[in-house]
Amino acid sequence: MHTLDQIAAEPAAAKEDGGPAIAVVDLHKSFGSQKVLNGISLAVGRGETLAVLGRSGTGKSVLLRLIIGLEKPDSGSIRIHGQDIAGLILDRMGEIRKKMGFLFQHAALYDSLTVEQNVAFPLEHHKKEMSKSERHDRVKALLAEVGMEGHLEKMPSDISGGMQKRVGLARALVLEPDILLLDEPTAGLDPISSAEIDDLVLKLQEEHHVASVVVTHDLHSAKTIADRLALLNEGNVVIEGSFEQLQGSDDEFVREFLKHS
Amino acid sequence: MIDRSPSALAGTQSVLPGQPLPLSSAVNSGAGLITEFLEWFGDLGLFFWHVVQAAVTPPFEFRELFRQLDEIGSKSLPLVALAGAATGIVLSMEARYSLTRFGAKSLLPAAIVFSIIHETGPIITGLVVSGRVGAGIGAELASMKVTEQIDAIEASAVNPYRLLAATRILACILMLPLLTLAADFSGLVMGWVAQALVEPLSFHQFISSGFKGADFSDFLPPTFKTMVFGLIIGLIACFQGMRTQGGAAGVGRAATSSVVLSSLFVILADVVLVKLILIFFP
């Protein structure tokens, strides 16, 4: 884990010296008069998984959207491998996004493309040197990894929510990112599918060694897949640490949250 | 919780249906509408700037452009040709009635040809494409927006202005003149058919008499002005689609507003373009 002083002092050398893959410092974000994030600071190292927990509407998904640049912060900085992404133009941000995979809460698969075409989409745009058969093999292997090898030709509307998440996960991983952002990977799934997704995320972390931020309501899932947990309330990080540290906390909100989870 | 206190209820009923708004409310609502329109126009300008920036820098999305050329061009062809044909028949019947009444029946082929190539063909094409393509693009992009597919494209490091907007706008610009040619052709053919059914007239006679005294300046500027219509239709439909918010209702609103606004701006642009053509190609 990296201290905030370290993050602020050594941003440029972060990638080279093994510094944090993601460093968020004093991040503020409002929508109109509604304050969503109120000075959040977090850091995630390479190969590390941080689970962000909290009640609905506390800005967990907004935090992920800020990290990947889909929203602009009001103030504060976000550094990806030491590079501050604030104010980057779309194409420059695109270069950074090639190293990031994002699983949307509802998978956000392209509904006019088949499962195979969905996963191949980033490859077609960024790996033009790959032949069609190489692309097909890569997509097939990745879909096999997430247990979807038999559904290449299906349309997203023809598969279940859990299957869509698996395909979304394969699409997030297809460019071999070193940062993975997962928005509610188990939301709306039955317990067996949730456990399967958790196992899948763990397997992928072991094999691909990515830095991950997982936003979830599911404490069991967070405990299973994360190295550290951060609990958000009213736009602030209430507590950050291991599951045991959360359990040992005297904070009233933390105790209330754990009691109802 | 819903406030059902007398004061709250009174507040909702301060202006009864049919009762005129107080002057201050009307002024405020007028000012609000103007502000809203200026904001919309500013956002549209900014959107256009993003699209131009994306369109002129590589990588170019040729495959998506060809797909859109087919979607917007080939698939609009039957509708545009049918609208052109119907217009040709109506023009022919109306012109015959009017010109016969004023003793200028010999001008009938020229009246039909000039009406179609100067104005009717281009504006009918613009309005038909506004309806078919404007609604299609608006609804498609709005649906992608509310289901986070546009965010997914951006998260995949692909510029959505380049992939989605620039390709559709460019396809509209390129296809409108070609579709106008189809509308003109079917309008002329059916205009001749309507004439030939009343009194014998060969197609050759109809065309040579109709185009007598016409030159390229009668034909090219009105045809190429539809590129501006294409820009308007593509730009407004992409803009309305990509800024949508609010689920299925938002998709419906985006489709409707794309058609209404693009048709309105096509007609307004036509007023300006006709004047410019008359100035530069007298």
pLDDT tens-digit readout, B94-113: 998 888 888 887 888 899 99
Residue B261 inside a domain? The answer is: yes
Mean pLDDT of B179-200: 94
Q: Which residues on chain B are in Cβ contact (under 8 Å) with A110?
A: 144, 149, 152-153
Q: Kindly report the average pLDDT of chain B as a whole number.
A: 89
First to last CA, chain A: 26
What is the pLDDT, as a whole number, of residue B171?
97
Q: Is residue B119 part of a domain?
A: yes
- 3-state SS of chain A: helix, strand, coil percent to 5? 40, 25, 35
Mean pLDDT of A155-168: 92
Average pLDDT score, chain A = 87
Q: Is there a contact between A75 and A24 (Cβ–Cβ < 8 Å)?
A: no
Which distant-in-sequence residues (6+ apart) come within 8 Å of A54 by Cβ? Answer: A60, A231, A232, A233, A257
Query: Are the beta carbons of B152 and A110 separated by less than 8 Å?
Result: yes
Point out the residue among A90, A98, A104 whose CB comes nearest to the CB of B148: A104
Mean pLDDT of B141-152: 96
Mean pLDDT for B25-31 is: 79
Q: Note if the bond before B59 is cis, omega within 30 degrees.
A: yes
Which pLDDT does position A88 carry in this prediction? Answer: 82
Contacts of A102 in chain B (CB under 8 A): 152, 155
**Looking at beta carbons, which residues of chain A come within 8 Å of B149?**
108-111
Tell me what pLDDT residue B20 has.
58
Residue B4 clears pLDDT 90, i.e. is over it: no
pLDDT > 90: what percent of chain B?
70
Chain B residue numbers with beta carbons less than 8 Å from the beta carbon of A171 are 152, 156
Residue ranges making up the domain that contains B96 = 27-280
Q: Return the closest-CA partner of residue A225 out of A159, A153, A169.
A: A169
Among A109, A123, A125, which would you mutate to test the B interface (most chain B Cβ atoms within 10 Å of its Cβ)? Answer: A125
Are A90 and B57 a contacting pair at CB < 8 A? no
From CA B157, how far away is CA B165, in angstroms rounded? 16
Most confident of A69-83, A188-202, B163-177: B163-177
- Interface of A to B at Cβ within 8 Å reads 65, 68-70, 90-91, 94-95, 97-98, 100, 102, 104, 106, 108-111, 121-122, 125-126, 171, 175
pLDDT score of A64 more than 90: yes
Could you tell me which residues come within 8 angstroms of residue B30 by beta carbon, excluding any fewer than 6 positions away? none
Quick check: is B253 in a domain?
yes
DSSP state of A261: -
- Residue B237 inside a domain? The answer is yes
3-state secondary structure of B118: helix
CA distance to A65, A70, A103, A212, B243, per residue, from B148 (Å)? 11, 11, 11, 21, 12
The verdict on a CB contact (< 8 Å) between B159 and A90 is yes
User: Over the stretch B53-90, which tens digit does the pLDDT of each residue have?
Assistant: 999 998 899 999 999 999 999 999 999 999 999 999 99
Contact predicate A103/B151, CB 8 Å? no
User: What is the band of A6 on the pLDDT scale with cuts at 50, 70, 90?
Assistant: very low
Model confidence at A4, pLDDT cuts 50, 70, 90, reads very low
pLDDT at A108: 95
- Judged by CB atoms closer than 8 Å, whether chains meet at A108 and B158 is answered as no
Residue B113: what residue type?
Answer: V
**Domain contains B79:** yes
- pLDDT tier, B18 (very low <50, low <70, confident <90, very high otherwise): low
Residue A17 has pLDDT above 70, yes or no: no
Bridge partners, A181 (sequence order)? A102, A213
Q: Would B12 be classed as within a structural domain?
A: no
Report CB contact under 8 Å: B147, A111: yes
**B158/A contact by beta carbon, under 8 A:** yes
The verdict on residue B6 lying in a domain is no
Q: In chain B, what residues touch A70 (CB-CB under 8 Å)?
A: 151, 154-155
Least confident of A214-228, B170-184, B222-236: A214-228
Q: Is the Cβ pair A108, B152 closer than 8 Å?
A: yes
pLDDT at A10: 43
pLDDT digits (tens, 9 = 90+) for A73-101: 999 999 999 899 987 877 788 889 999 99
- DSSP3 helix / strand / coil % (chain B, rounded to 5): 85, 0, 15
Determine, yes or no, domain membership for B164.
yes
Looking at residue A162, its amino acid is G
Give the B window 114-143 contacts with A, CB below 8 Å: 143
- The band of A1, judged by pLDDT with boundaries at 50, 70 and 90, is very low
Contact B148 A95 (CB under 8 A): no
pLDDT mean over A57-86: 91
Q: Give the gap in angstroms from C-alpha B152 to the nearest C-alpha of chain A.
A: 6
Query: What pLDDT does A193 receive?
Result: 77
Q: Which of A31-45, A180-194, B210-224, B264-278 has the highest mean pLDDT?
A: B264-278
- pLDDT band of residue A8 (cuts 50, 70, 90) is very low
Which of A97, A109, A111 is the closest to B157 by Cβ?
A: A97
Interface subset of B 195-254, CB within 8 angstroms of A? none
The one-character DSSP state at B254 is H
Q: In the predicted model, what is the mean pLDDT of residues B152-168?
A: 95
Q: Which one of B156, B162, B251 would you mutate to disrupt binding with A, by most A Cβ within 10 Å of its Cβ?
A: B156
Q: Identify which has the larger pLDDT, A218 or A23.
A: A23
Q: Are strands A34-44 and A22-31 parallel, antiparallel or unpaired?
A: antiparallel
Which two structure tokens, joined as six digits, stand for B108?
């009938």
Min Cα separation B145/chain A (Å): 10
Domain count, chain B: 1
